Amino acid sequence: MDLNKLIEKFEEIYGSGGEGIRAFQAPGRINLIGEHIDYNGGHVFPMALDMNNTIIARPNNSSFINMAVTSLPNRVSADIEKLESYKNLEWGNYQAGVAYMLKEAGYNIVGCDLLYHGEVPYGAGLSSSASIEVATAVCLASLGGAASLDMKEIAVLSQRAENEYVGMNCGIMDQFISALGEKDHALYLDCANLEYEKVPLELGEYTIVITNTNAAHKLTDSQYNTRRAECERALSIINENGGSYEYLCDIRIDELEKYEKYFNGDLSYKRARHCVTEETRVKAAVNVLKSGDLQSFGKLLNEANISMRDDYEATGQELDTVFDIALGIDGVVGSRMTGGGFGGCNISIVAKDKVEGFMKTMKEKYTKIIGYEPSFYFSDAGAGAGEIMIKEAKSN
Ligand code: GLA
């Protein structure tokens, strides 16, 4: 939906006239490599998509944040003085959580009318939630008069809303890339200190095909929290037996192997092995990408997928099927699941002139095995969150 149509829809809901309509957006993401290590002090390598969550917004001189969305009939009015009380909303809890965290952090929050519109497919593992959180944070902070935004703080407060308000114990990656993404770049992010480097995403004759398994994955949040707890257990076992590491990703593989005997077969050892080997793969992947060696980059993606499948056990039949099919298709240099896992999306690096064939074969084989079709998306590396200038959009 274009911006002018969204503004029309906004005025239908909240009334026309009055100055001060503004628009904000924040993107979803894919992660190229570095999975489930953001919360283990590791490096990740995500890029923002050019699919966004957009908010049309206008202050309303009340003490309520009124929210509507284009895809659902739901309407929410959140009292700014009672922001702690919207945790169980079916829709609107992420937004209320962000408002709550911003307020706690000292931001001025003003009453406003908001209309949300999401282009990031929901529940596909492309960080639609992070894009809602970050768009909300940028919107509310800006309406409240914040002159210039500290985007790292916006990311951290958005993550806090998801951890402490929604109850999903996610790491920082998704909110960070949504807030700070750079057009045509991926970010090489050190999650231990939030320092990052922008790496140009130059794939030459290749492109990224995003394959959505379309798997319904209801248990994602609890499985995610379980994996996170397993990593914490692994680190405790290591530190109780002579180690003194702050994060799993601080450990080298030869060091980790010395601790295996203390695990007594506990599966958290495999989780730790994924984290430790993944950290090495991310560093190698960034280096080979910088030197233009896409074959090696693809190989590291494949290895990362195998580690997520066998050691982290966070893929599932649908993602495993996409991976197996992808590796058999002509023109594919690498393939892996992306994001939290247990369903969601795969990314494959495919020669541009083989993309049609990729989609045809993937669709046929996947549908035959799984029983329903996958979906495909294409996206350049997009920019991070910000305000959209409405006048510019109107004159387009
Ligand atoms: C989800 C979380 C991120 C990250 C990924 C896995 O997307 O929100 O913090 O842990 O899973 O890499």
> In Å, what is the CA distance from 364 to each residue of 117, 323, 327, 382?
32, 14, 15, 30
Q: Report whether pLDDT(394) > 50.
A: no
> 38: CA distance to ligand 1 center in Å?
7
Provide residues with CB under 6 Å of ligand 1: 31, 35-36, 38-39, 170-171, 173-174, 339-340
- Please tell me the predicted confidence (pLDDT) of residue 396: 38
Atom of ligand 1 nearest to the CA of 44: 12
Mutation choice for ligand 1 from 174, 178, 191, 305, CB with most ligand atoms inside 8 A: 174
Q: Which CATH architecture has domain 3-200+383-394?
A: 2-Layer Sandwich (3.30)
Lowest average pLDDT, out of 12-26, 194-208, 227-241, 315-329, goes to 12-26
Mutation choice for ligand 1 from 36, 232, 249, 271, CB with most ligand atoms inside 8 A: 36
Q: Whose CA is nearest to atom 8 of ligand 1?
A: 170
Assigned superfamily of 206-377: GHMP kinase, C-terminal domain (3.30.70.890)
CA dist 26 and 332 (Å) reads 30
Q: Whose CA is nearest to atom 1 of ligand 1?
A: 340
> 219: CA distance to ligand 1 center in Å?
15
> 173: CA distance to ligand 1 center in Å?
6
What average pLDDT does range 230-256 have in this prediction?
98
What average pLDDT does range 45-62 have in this prediction?
97
Atom of ligand 1 nearest to the CA of 168: 8
> 175: CA distance to ligand 1 center in Å?
10
Mutation choice for ligand 1 from 163, 170, 307, CB with most ligand atoms inside 8 A: 170
> 248: CA distance to ligand 1 center in Å?
16
> 245: CA distance to ligand 1 center in Å?
22
Amino acid identity, position 114: L
- Please tell me the predicted confidence (pLDDT) of residue 17: 72
**C-alpha dihedral sign at 191, 278, 178, 170:** negative
- Please tell me the predicted confidence (pLDDT) of residue 18: 63
Could you give the strand order of the β-sheet that contains 345-351, starting from the edge strand earlier in sequence? 332-338, 345-351, 206-212, 375-377
Of 208, 210, 49, 213, nearest to 123 (Cα)?
A: 213
**Is-contact 44 38, C-beta < 8 A?**
yes
Q: Whose CA is nearest to atom 10 of ligand 1?
A: 36
Q: Report whether pLDDT(19) > 80.
A: no
Q: Residue 216 — very low, low, confident or very high, per pLDDT cuts 50/70/90?
A: confident
Q: Report whether pLDDT(392) > 50.
A: no
What average pLDDT does range 234-250 have in this prediction?
98
Mutation choice for ligand 1 from 173, 319, 347, CB with most ligand atoms inside 8 A: 173
Q: Whose CA is nearest to atom 9 of ligand 1?
A: 171
**Is-contact 310 293, C-beta < 8 A?**
no
- Please tell me the predicted confidence (pLDDT) of residue 205: 97
> 152: CA distance to ligand 1 center in Å?
17
Atom of ligand 1 nearest to the CA of 31: 12
* DSSP letter, residue 166: I
What average pLDDT does range 36-42 have in this prediction?
98
**Is-contact 80 103, C-beta < 8 A?**
yes
User: Can you name the residues that pair with 67 across neighbouring β-strands?
Assistant: 76, 114
Q: Residue 7 — very low, low, confident or very high, per pLDDT cuts 50/70/90?
A: very high
Q: Report whether pLDDT(220) > 80.
A: no
Considering only residues 17 and 345, tell me which one the structure prediction assigns the higher pLDDT: 345
Considering only residues 19 and 305, tell me which one the structure prediction assigns the higher pLDDT: 305
Lowest average pLDDT, out of 135-144, 204-213, 214-223, 315-324, goes to 214-223
Amino acid identity, position 113: D
- Please tell me the predicted confidence (pLDDT) of residue 219: 55
Of 141, 163, 166, nearest to 151 (Cα)?
A: 141
CA dist 125 and 308 (Å) reads 15
- Please tell me the predicted confidence (pLDDT) of residue 1: 74
Atom of ligand 1 nearest to the CA of 39: 10
> In the chain, pLDDT over 90 holds for what percent of residues?
94
Model pLDDT for residues 129-153, shown as the tens digit of each residue:
999 999 999 999 999 999 899 999 9
Averaged pLDDT score across all residues of the chain: 96
Active site residue 380: no
Q: Report whether pLDDT(395) > 50.
A: no
Give the count of beta carbons closer than 10 Å to the beta carbon of residue 368.
10
Q: Of the listed 174, 190, 320, 353, which one is catalytic?
A: 174
Atom of ligand 1 nearest to the CA of 171: 9
Of 197, 174, 70, nearest to 128 (Cα)?
A: 174
Q: Report whether pLDDT(91) > 80.
A: yes
User: Can you name the residues that pair with 377 across neighbouring β-strands?
Assistant: 210
Q: Report whether pLDDT(393) > 70.
A: no
Burial call 327-357: b when 16+ CB within 10 Å, e when fewer: eebebbbbbbbbbbbbbbbbbbbbbeebbee
So where are the chain's domains? 3-200+383-394, 206-377
Atom of ligand 1 nearest to the CA of 129: 8
- Please tell me the predicted confidence (pLDDT) of residue 218: 58
Model pLDDT for residues 322-361, shown as the tens digit of each residue:
999 999 999 999 999 999 999 999 999 999 999 999 999 9
What average pLDDT does range 284-290 have in this prediction?
98
CA dist 164 and 206 (Å) reads 40
> 190: CA distance to ligand 1 center in Å?
14
